[in-house]
């Protein structure tokens, strides 16, 4: 939420330096694409952002990485483009099933944040401690239920990377514990805060390299 592809800069540099093709995306209506923010931007828009990038770059066997709200987006993109997606990696993220919305998966604290909309009436304001480059986030993308048509359990890998270093109680602890007991998932815990790509880029790069190595 509220961020752009720039938040993956350190991780992108490390992976590209090792010869991997990396495509950090900024979703419609955010950051350098904030001029596209309007009331019609929703979860389907953001899923299509990813699917379009897969198509235009002609990517195959892609590992999709989604942070926080991005878990909604990569789940939908894998459903829409199953011939192009190999694995999913959730970074301290929501893990939806069909019919879930980001709103339905978060706590009342997060919902109160979502409802703090800007003057347009259709975007949630960045929290005060966010990066100065953060911009309002289209609230329709948080309210819209996810539509799925297939069983994503057929993907080669699904990994969950849990941030164990939250300053207060993590809202993702229950998700991490549930997936750790599921043989269909590989789980990891890193000592950073919610923005793992900023706090633990080296450790996170090792996890992603492991995921990509077995394609």
Please report where in the chains the tokens 């394609």 appear, as a residue.
215
Among 174, 170, 202, CA closest to 187: 174
In degrees to the nearest 10, what's the CA dihedral of 129, 9, 123, 168?
A: -40
Cβ-proximal residues to 46 (8 Å cutoff; 6+ apart), any chain: 27, 28, 72, 73, 76, 141
3-state secondary structure of 157: strand
Tokens of 11: 């991780």
Tokens of 115: 């409802």
Answer for the pair 185, 93: CB distance below 8 angstroms, yes or no: no
Distance CA 171, CA 143 (A): 18
3-state secondary structure of 175: helix
Answer for the pair 155, 84: CB distance below 8 angstroms, yes or no: no
| Residues labelled catalytic | 68
Tokens of 187: 């789980």
Answer for the pair 171, 163: CB distance below 8 angstroms, yes or no: no
């Amino acid at each position: 939420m509220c961020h752009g592809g720039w938040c993956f800069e350190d991780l992108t540099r490390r992976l590209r330096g090792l010869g991997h093709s990396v495509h950090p995306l900024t979703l419609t209506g955010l950051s350098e694409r904030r001029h596209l923010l309007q009331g019609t931007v929703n979860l389907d828009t953001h899923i299509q952002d990813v699917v379009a990038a897969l198509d235009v770059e002609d990517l195959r066997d892609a590992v999709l990485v989604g942070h926080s709200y991005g878990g909604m987006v990569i789940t939908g993109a894998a459903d829409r483009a199953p011939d192009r997606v190999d694995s999913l990696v959730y970074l301290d993220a929501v893990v939806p099933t069909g019919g879930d919305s980001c709103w339905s998966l978060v706590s009342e604290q997060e919902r109160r944040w979502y409802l703090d909309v800007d003057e347009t009436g259709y975007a949630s304001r960045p929290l005060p401690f966010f990066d100065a480059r953060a911009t309002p986030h289209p609230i329709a993308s948080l309210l819209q239920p996810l539509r799925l048509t297939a069983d994503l359990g057929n993907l080669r890998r699904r990994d969950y990377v849990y941030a164990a270093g939250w300053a207060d109680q993590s809202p993702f602890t229950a998700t991490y514990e549930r997936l750790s007991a599921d043989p269909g998932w590989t789980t990891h815990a890193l000592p950073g805060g919610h923005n793992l790509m900023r706090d633990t880029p080296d450790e996170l790069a090792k996890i992603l390299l492991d995921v990509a190595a077995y394609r």
